Amino acid sequence: MKKEIIKKHPLAIRWFHWVNFPVLGIMIWSGLLIYWANDVYRIGFGDTTLIKFFPKSFYDTFKINGRLSEGMAYHFLFMWLFFLNGIAYVLYTIFSGEWRDLVPIKGSFKRSWQVLLHDLHIRKTAPPITGKYNDAQRIAYTAIIVMGIGSILTGLAIYKPVQLEWLCWIFGGYKMARIIHFILTIGYVLFFLVHIAQVIRAGWNNFRAMITGFEVKKIKEETVAEEPKK
Amino acid sequence: MANIFKTIFTSNKKLNIDQQIMKKTVVSFFFFFVFAGAAFWGWKWLRKQPMEPGSEKNRTSAVLRKVLNTNEDIFKGLLSKNNLAKEYPRSKAANPARVNGYLGLKTKLDSNWAMNVIKANGDTLKIKLDDIKKLPKIEFAFNFKCIEGWSQVTHWGGVKFSDFVKAYGLGTESAMNYLGLATPDKQYYVGIDMPSALHPQTILCYELNGMTLPMDQGYPLRLIIPVKYGVKSLKRIGYMYFDNKRTPDYWADVRGYDYYTGL
């Protein structure tokens, strides 16, 4: 078995990824401190509540209670890092051409189902991959950018709802903008859970690439032997 | 283990593929942990900053206060007299309107109530409700927004603050940077930047839903300022004053909130 070092993630991508991780974490935490002050959202029908956001035990566990001013102060500091890092990432992917690996292509939606079935061990073979990522990844990594833009715009709408009334209007009003801002946050948490599961499933070689930038490719000896001798 | 490190970092010989992988991995992880450590240290530093003095529930440090003030400088440029809070049909207004605080209302209201307007030269004007009512009245329903996150369409009536300062010859005062208001017992007080106070929807309010203000909504006279969160809409005005420096603000000074809280 011969090994080869293959470049996978440019330094800029790794940098943006690892900056975003703690920053988004702090945004979610400080967002919870803010949300607590008016925690009216739930999933249910009529008077029946299936999921309440959030139960008292959740607040107690994470010490969320009575920290609105603190939450706002941190949220309105780290929003800048989240925003600037996100902008830098998007600009980098555009100018470096990395975007080609990150956006869905023809047949991506169909193949992403096949990826899902394969990952759930329902389907034996994985569909072919064009570029760096499979089609489920293409959709996920594009969706997360759309979500990020959505968080910034809904956040801005509820931050300055009078001066940016038109922005509130786009999202269906002040209350709806706050709801969307919240749902997107739940979306990040779900993304994170799947992301972590997939990273564990993919293994060390894949994870190491997000820190070192390279992946190790193993090449069978036979193919090497076929090369003409000097 | 030490031998491997010695080989990959000091050997002059060309490294084999496994040694190359090892070297690149070690170097990358080293820098990764250095940066992660620096970020963690920065976070600890931020969390350790001493809280602002003189406040039992204030959880805002000087660093965070600086950030809030910088955000104010960046976003106050958005404030325009032409950007009005959206007005709703009065039929959409909540009745009764939500009552969300009793700060400054716990003492008995003096039957001789008058608003004390402290002028720049130190004189105090005592202005009765009937005098206020002589000025042109405006009414509107808008989505009142609380800093806690809830909002409610409510219908208010009163006198534009900008009309009030003109009528009472408070030109010098309204040219200053900040307006201050306090309840008669001085238990609740707010500070407001003058451009927001002079916004055309900022009113000295004496009516809710077309009726006299209820006691718990700030009878006889309160502020309604749609370009701010509800915390600035002080109930039961006892004192009005002006300053070029920031006037005291309960939620900013004692409880660690942003001073500006502009919407």
How many angstroms separate the CA atoms of A163 and A169, rounded? Answer: 12
Whether residue B77 sits in one domain with residue B40 = no
What pLDDT score does A105 carry? Answer: 87
Whether residue B28 sits in one domain with residue B127 = no
Whether residue B117 sits in one domain with residue B68 = yes
Task: Choose, out of B67, B100, B202, the residue to mutate when testing the contact with A (most A CBs < 10 Å).
Answer: B67
Whether residue B142 sits in one domain with residue B68 = yes
- What value does the mean pLDDT of chain B take? 92
Inter-chain CB proximity B28 and A212 less than 8 Å: yes
Structure tokens at A192: 């994170």
Neighbouring-strand partners of residue A218: A3
In a domain, B262, yes or no: no
Boundaries of domain holding B12? 2-48
In a domain, B53, yes or no: no
In a domain, B6, yes or no: yes
Whether residue B148 sits in one domain with residue B85 = yes
**What is the total count of domains within chain B?**
2
What pLDDT score does A230 carry? Answer: 47
Buried-exposed string A55-85: b where 16+ CB fall within 10 A, e elsewhere: eeeebeeeebeebbbbbbbbbbbbbebbbeb
3-state helix, strand, coil in chain A (%, to 5): 65, 10, 25
What pLDDT score does B74 carry? Answer: 94
Whether residue B21 sits in one domain with residue B114 = no
What pLDDT score does B56 carry? Answer: 61
In this prediction the ipTM stands at 0.89
Q: What is the pLDDT of residues B226-263, one digit of tens each?
A: 999 999 999 999 999 999 999 999 999 888 899 999 99
Whether residue B23 sits in one domain with residue B142 = no
The answer as to CATH 2.40.30.10 being correct for domain A2-38+67-225 is no
Put simply, whether A10 touches B (Cβ < 8 Å) is no
How many angstroms separate the CA atoms of B252 and B263, rounded? Answer: 16
Closest residue on chain A to B84 (Cα)? A162
Interval B106-127 mean pLDDT = 92
What pLDDT score does A119 carry? Answer: 87
Q: What is the pLDDT of residues B182-217, one digit of tens each?
A: 999 999 999 999 999 999 999 999 999 999 999 999
Neighbouring-strand partners of residue B152: B144
Q: What is the pLDDT of residues B58-92, one digit of tens each?
A: 678 889 999 999 999 999 998 888 899 999 999 99
> How, if at all, do strands B239-243 and B115-118 pair?
parallel
Whether residue B70 sits in one domain with residue B17 = no
What pLDDT score does B58 carry? Answer: 63
Whether residue B25 sits in one domain with residue B66 = no
Task: Choose, out of B16, B75, B229, B255, the residue to mutate when testing the contact with A (most A CBs < 10 Å).
Answer: B75
CATH of the domain at B236: 3.90.420.10
How many CB atoms sit inside 10 A of residue B44's CB? 9
- Reduce the DSSP state of residue A67 to 3 states and report it: coil
In a domain, B56, yes or no: no
Whether residue B184 sits in one domain with residue B90 = yes
Q: What is the pLDDT of residues B157-183, one digit of tens each?
A: 999 999 999 999 999 999 999 999 999
What pLDDT score does B199 carry? Answer: 96
Neighbouring-strand partners of residue A192: none
Whether residue B109 sits in one domain with residue B17 = no
Question: What's the gap in Å between the CA of A127 and the closest CA on chain B?
Answer: 30
Put simply, whether B58 touches A (Cβ < 8 Å) is yes
Whether residue B155 sits in one domain with residue B32 = no
Put simply, whether B252 touches A (Cβ < 8 Å) is no
How many angstroms separate the CA atoms of B103 and B100, rounded? Answer: 10
**In this structure, are residues A161 and B145 in contact, taking their beta carbons and an 8 Å threshold?**
yes
Indicate the residue type of B102.
Y
Inter-chain CB proximity B59 and A174 less than 8 Å: no
Q: Which residues in chain A show pLDDT less than 70?
A: 221-230
